[in-house]
């Protein structure tokens, strides 16, 4: 029987909060974090809305506990902040005899440092500039060094499915005995390159994004970082960690329909969701909520919607996109939305699809319009679909007495509802 994988720690920084409690509080208040661009000097500054972390570079150094020296990209600092919170929550600093890995995802990497160096290069005609923090792996290496993780360290870059694939790879390494536990997730920062690249595709919305809406006009880019600690049952017997939930299934498909667009019929999305369901052993009717990729673009939402209808038929679960809260954090979206999905299981809530007004005419379902609390949420599907048709779906399942079996602390699994010092849903809401 394959090893079961459990989430035992998490950490996040986004435009709606600098840690787990702050993010949960913003979600419970239905308070989005998108707004004007403040920290990137670009000609698009007054034209776009973004989900920008409201911290300067100096403030991020302070949050990360890092001395303000050259060579730290905004991306690396965001990653260190979220990874440190997850590591502390999952107690990675203890039980050092366990094989521990770091799988971190990013695409932009240290592009913000590169942009500064490029300006200096043009103005000073320098030919001897070495950009040591530019590549994607730099942020991963800095996180690993900060947390003392050495057994396995790698970086994944598959566009918007990157962090979801990092979670999937970590789970596979644990199942195959390569690791006992892993810190998995992603980080991404806003840069000129980032903004202008998506602007060239003509998919940036100048107003708050409207996923699954008939009048959707594009995305609001975001930034942030999110990491989860995942481990096997055998590892949990040693760490004595209480599981937040189980990573019950995952699926990835790469349909290669187009460099940037999803296929019109959603074939890749369908294959990824179907594979995740099959691995989990769950039936379509067992999924209570889908945290959709839901970017707000004309192409993605129709494609994903068709795939959902094909897989779930006339019994479609509750669906929403949380990107109106956080912006589209691209390579960090998979882990950001994984944590938001874990919240749903812990606090028995479903997040609203903000800004929705009218159903897409080609689809037969509407997303959740208001915050839902106090309802049974036992299984959540989280979708992350990237350029090139690299599509990944993850399924998270609530841990309770009926499915915990021999999981450590299974008799006290309900204590997971207090995880992350965030309190319960009622207290947060009030």
Q: Is the pLDDT of residue 55 over 60?
A: yes
Phi-psi region of 212 (alpha: psi -120 to 50; beta: other; left: phi over 0): left
Q: Is the pLDDT of residue 427 over 70?
A: no
CA distance 377 to 408: 22
Tens-place pLDDT, residues 167-208:
999 999 999 999 999 999 999 999 998 898 888 888 899 999
**Model pTM?**
0.92
Mean pLDDT of 91-97: 90
Confidence of residue 257 (pLDDT cuts 50, 70, 90): low
Q: Is the pLDDT of residue 133 over 80?
A: no
Tens-place pLDDT, residues 336-350:
999 999 999 999 999
Angle between helices 111-124 and 74-89 (to 10 degrees): 160
31 backbone dihedrals φ, ψ, rounded to 5°: -105, 105
User: According to the model, what pLDDT value does residue 403 have?
Assistant: 56
149 backbone dihedrals φ, ψ, rounded to 5°: -100, 125
Q: How far is CA 424 from the centre of its chain?
A: 22
3-state helix, strand, coil in the chain (%, to 5): 40, 20, 40
CA distance 397 to 377: 9
Tens-place pLDDT, residues 141-151:
999 999 999 99
Fold category of 5-399 in CATH: Peroxisomal Thiolase; Chain A, domain 1 (3.40.47)
Handedness of CA 273, 279, 281, 287 (dihedral sign): negative
- Of 20-29, 50-59, 360-369, 403-412, give the lowest mean pLDDT range: 403-412
Q: Is the pLDDT of residue 43 over 90?
A: no
Closest CA to 292 of 316, 323, 271: 323
- Residue 57, classified by CB atoms within 10 Å of its CB into exposed (0-12), middle (13-18) or buried (19+), is middle
Structure tokens at 35: 């707004």
Structure tokens at 375: 């309802």
Confidence of residue 161 (pLDDT cuts 50, 70, 90): confident
Length in residues, the chain: 430
| 425 compared with 101, residue with greater pLDDT | 101
Contact of 19 with 85, CB cutoff 8 Å: yes
Active site residues: 160, 293, 328
Domain range annotation of the chain: 5-399
């Amino acid at each position: 029987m394959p090893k079961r994988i459990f989430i035992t720690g998490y950490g996040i920084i986004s435009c709606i909060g600098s840690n787990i409690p702050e993010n949960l509080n913003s979600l419970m208040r239905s308070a989005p974090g998108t707004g004007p661009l403040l920290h990137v000097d670009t000609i698009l500054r007054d034209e776009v809305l973004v989900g920008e972390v409201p911290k300067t570079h100096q403030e991020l150094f302070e949050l990360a506990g890092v001395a303000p020296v050259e060579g730290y990209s905004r991306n690396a600092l965001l990653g260190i902040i979220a990874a440190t919170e997850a590591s502390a929550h999952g107690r990675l600093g203890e039980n050092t005899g366990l094989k521990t890995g770091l799988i971190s995802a990013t695409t932009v990497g240290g592009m913000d440092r590169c942009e500064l160096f490029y300006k200096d290069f043009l103005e000073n005609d320098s030919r001897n500039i070495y950009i040591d923090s530019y590549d994607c792996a730099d942020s991963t290496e800095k996180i690993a060094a900060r947390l003392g993780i050495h057994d396995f360290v790698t970086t994944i870059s598959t566009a918007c499915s990157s962090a979801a694939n990092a979670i999937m790879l970590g789970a596979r390494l644990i199942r195959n005995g390569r690791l006992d536990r892993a810190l998995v997730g992603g980080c991404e920062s806003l840069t000129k390159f980032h903004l202008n690249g998506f602007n060239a595709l003509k998919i940036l919305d100048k107003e708050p994004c409207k996923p699954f809406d008939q009048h959707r006009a594009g995305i609001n880019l975001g930034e942030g970082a999110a990491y989860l600690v995942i481990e096997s049952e055998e590892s949990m017997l040693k760490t004595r960690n209480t599981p937040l939930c189980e990573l019950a299934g995952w699926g990835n498909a790469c349909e290669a329909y187009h460099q940037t667009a999803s296929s019109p019929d959603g074939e890749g999305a369908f294959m990824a969701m179907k594979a995740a369901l099959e691995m989990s052993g769950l039936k379509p009717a067992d999924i209570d909520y889908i945290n959709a990729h839901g970017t707000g673009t004309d192409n993605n939402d129709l494609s994903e919607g068709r795939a959902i209808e094909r897989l779930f038929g006339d019994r479609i679960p509750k669906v929403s996109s949380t990107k109106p809260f956080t912006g589209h954090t691209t390579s960090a979206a998979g882990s950001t939305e994984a944590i938001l999905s874990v919240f749903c299981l812990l606090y028995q809530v479903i997040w609203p699809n903000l800004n929705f007004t009218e159903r897409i005419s080609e689809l037969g379902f509407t997303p959740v319009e208001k915050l839902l609390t106090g309802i049974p949420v036992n299984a959540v599907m989280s979708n992350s679909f990237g350029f090139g048709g690299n599509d990944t779906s993850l399924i998270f399942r609530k841990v309770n007495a009926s499915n915990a079996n021999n999981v450590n602390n299974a008799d006290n699994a309900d204590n997971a509802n207090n995880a992350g010092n965030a309190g319960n849903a009622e207290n947060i809401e009030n």
